[in-house]
């Protein structure tokens, strides 16, 4: 039985965004596959989640521990960081209380694997080496320097662009140093895996997609389109998701609405910016946070993933496929998922093609039904969480051979 310490920069319960879903589902998979798990997470002010809300069985089985910290950015902090060699993206997550929690955990328990869930907790590697002989693994949710460089290229403000350029350079340097320090890397997509292999030749690297409980998502009943609803559902405090919504509204929605007058667009997600809530466009509904995502998915029809930037995996696509949704995505949006254009998803990368794909699904029941069915089949085959994590544990076992 492997003994695993999982470290996250965000409390994973409730799992209400991509990164927390990834951390929580993997933790559940470790437990279901018989590993001894200890989970420590930074409970940030921005995404604070009370420990009292965590189910008792998960808290017990994961030896759940969170460390509260305000990691919010500030103009003062951003300015001072200009005189530091550290990346501001990372330095905000390094603080004494977390060091103390790790010191106590590592002196009280012996681990085989210490999994860093994301680059932003990799600042603790040297401390971990001091107290543990465990294999340290970076579970890379993204290639962060690539993600932020893509964002830099899309930034319109000259001041922000100049600052981001400095920070992306620091982040890239830090990311490359971490890749050299860790014993192995777990990417979320094969695209990211290739990047890590190029950056660290000879380093053990594997891909582990984010799994889900596919049985939970199965939707019985009628799939006939009644309201002609298309929807975009994302965590709206993440800049690439805002960019995606802006792009669809500015470049595609008028074309779609002109072609199908009785269709409706629903935009939803936590931390919705005011500018979206104040939108006043015909047949566009912005509703902010969703308390019951299962009901939301089942109430709406055609799923949009118009992402332009980002690295890593779109967990919302995995959820959408598990629910049996017909999905229109950009290539970036579907990156890392073994989809087939025309069979279980439609891929389009420019406004005309994206709009045409949405219009086709609104008007063609047969095509939409086929995509829905094939999407759910793919989810059942590829995304079952227990199987996904079992494969990762086999990789972890191999590190000790």
Q: What is the per-residue pLDDT for 222?
A: 47
Q: What is the per-residue pLDDT for 110?
A: 96
Across residues 339-348, what is the average pLDDT? Answer: 96
Reported confidence tier of residue 91, pLDDT bands at 50, 70, 90: confident
Reported confidence tier of residue 221, pLDDT bands at 50, 70, 90: very low
The verdict on 75 and 202 lying in the same domain is yes
Say what the pTM is.
Answer: 0.78
**Segment 97-131, tens digit of pLDDT:** 999 999 999 999 999 999 999 999 999 999 999 99
What order of strands is seen across the sheet that includes strand 229-233? Answer: 284-288, 264-268, 229-233, 302-305, 326-329, 346-347
The verdict on 158 and 183 lying in the same domain is yes
Average pLDDT, the chain: 89
Q: How many domains does the chain have?
A: 2
Give the closest residue to 66 by CA, choosing from 87, 91, 36, 97: 97
Across residues 333-342, what is the average pLDDT? Answer: 89
Residue 313 clears pLDDT 60, i.e. is over it: no
The verdict on 138 and 247 lying in the same domain is no
The verdict on 394 and 371 lying in the same domain is no
What are the CA-CA distances from residue 25 to residues 17, 166, 214 (Å)? 12, 35, 12
Reported confidence tier of residue 401, pLDDT bands at 50, 70, 90: low
What is the domain extent for residue 319? 214-382
Reported confidence tier of residue 311, pLDDT bands at 50, 70, 90: low
The verdict on 284 and 192 lying in the same domain is no
**Segment 171-182, tens digit of pLDDT:** 888 888 899 999
The verdict on 287 and 328 lying in the same domain is yes
Q: What is the per-residue pLDDT for 220?
A: 54
The verdict on 136 and 264 lying in the same domain is no
Q: What is the per-residue pLDDT for 298?
A: 85
The verdict on 292 and 193 lying in the same domain is no
The verdict on 83 and 177 lying in the same domain is yes
Q: What is the per-residue pLDDT for 292?
A: 82
Question: Cβ distance 66 to 43 under 8 Å?
Answer: yes
Q: What is the per-residue pLDDT for 225?
A: 47
Q: Which CATH number belongs to the domain containing residue 201 in this structure?
A: 3.40.50.2000
Q: What is the per-residue pLDDT for 157?
A: 77
Across residues 291-317, what is the average pLDDT? Answer: 82
CB hemisphere CA count around 296 (13 angstroms): 21
- Token representation of residue 367: 């095509």
The verdict on 171 and 303 lying in the same domain is no
**Segment 41-71, tens digit of pLDDT:** 999 888 889 999 999 999 999 999 999 988 7
Across residues 118-145, what is the average pLDDT? Answer: 92
The verdict on 260 and 290 lying in the same domain is yes
Across residues 157-169, what is the average pLDDT? Answer: 81
Reported confidence tier of residue 86, pLDDT bands at 50, 70, 90: confident
Residue 252 clears pLDDT 70, i.e. is over it: yes
- Token representation of residue 156: 């319109």
**Segment 237-247, tens digit of pLDDT:** 888 899 999 99
The verdict on 345 and 390 lying in the same domain is no
Reported confidence tier of residue 226, pLDDT bands at 50, 70, 90: low
Q: What is the per-residue pLDDT for 78?
A: 78
Least confident of 146-160, 198-212, 290-304: 146-160
């Amino acid at each position: 039985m492997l003994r695993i310490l999982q470290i996250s920069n965000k409390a994973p319960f409730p799992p209400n965004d991509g990164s927390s879903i990834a951390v929580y589902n993997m933790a559940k998979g470790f437990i279901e596959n018989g590993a001894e798990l200890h989970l420590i997470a930074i409970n940030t002010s921005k995404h604070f989640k009370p420990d009292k809300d965590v189910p008792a069985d998960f808290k017990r089985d994961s030896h759940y521990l969170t460390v509260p910290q305000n990691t919010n950015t500030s103009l003062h902090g951003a300015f001072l960081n200009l005189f530091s060699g550290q990346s501001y993206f990372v330095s905000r997550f390094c603080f004494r209380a977390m060091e103390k929690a790790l010191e106590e955990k590592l002196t009280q328990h012996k681990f085989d694997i210490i999994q860093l869930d994301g680059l932003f907790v990799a600042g603790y590697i040297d401390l971990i080496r001091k107290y543990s002989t465990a294999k340290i693994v970076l579970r890379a949710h993204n290639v962060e320097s690539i993600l932020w460089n893509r964002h830099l290229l899309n930034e319109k403000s000259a001041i922000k662009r100049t600052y981001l350029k400095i920070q992306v350079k620091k982040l890239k340097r830090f990311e490359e140093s971490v890749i050299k320090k860790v014993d192995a890397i777990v990417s979320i997509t094969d695209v990211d895996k290739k990047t890590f292999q190029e950056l660290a030749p000879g380093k053990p690297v594997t891909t582990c997609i984010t799994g889900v409980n596919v049985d939970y998502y199965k939707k019985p009943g009628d799939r006939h389109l009644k309201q002609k609803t298309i929807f975009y559902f994302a965590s709206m405090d993440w800049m690439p998701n805002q960019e995606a919504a802006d792009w669809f509204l500015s470049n595609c929605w008028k074309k779609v609405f002109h072609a199908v007058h009785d269709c409706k667009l629903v935009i939803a997600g936590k931390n919705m910016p005011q500018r979206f809530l104040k939108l006043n466009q015909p047949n566009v509904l912005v509703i902010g946070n969703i308390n019951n995502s299962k009901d939301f998915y089942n109430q709406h029809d055609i799923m949009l993933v118009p992402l332009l930037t980002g690295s890593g995996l779109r967990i919302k696509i995995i959820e959408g496929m598990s629910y049996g949704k017909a999905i229109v995505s950009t290539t970036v949006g579907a990156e890392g998922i073994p989809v087939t254009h025309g069979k279980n998803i439609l891929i389009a990368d420019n406004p005309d093609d994206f709009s045409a794909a949405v219009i086709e699904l609104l008007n063609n029941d047969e095509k939409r039904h086929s995509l829905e069915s094939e999407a759910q089949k793919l989810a059942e085959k590829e995304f079952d969480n227990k199987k996904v994590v079992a494969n990762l544990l086999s990789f972890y076992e191999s590190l000790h051979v």
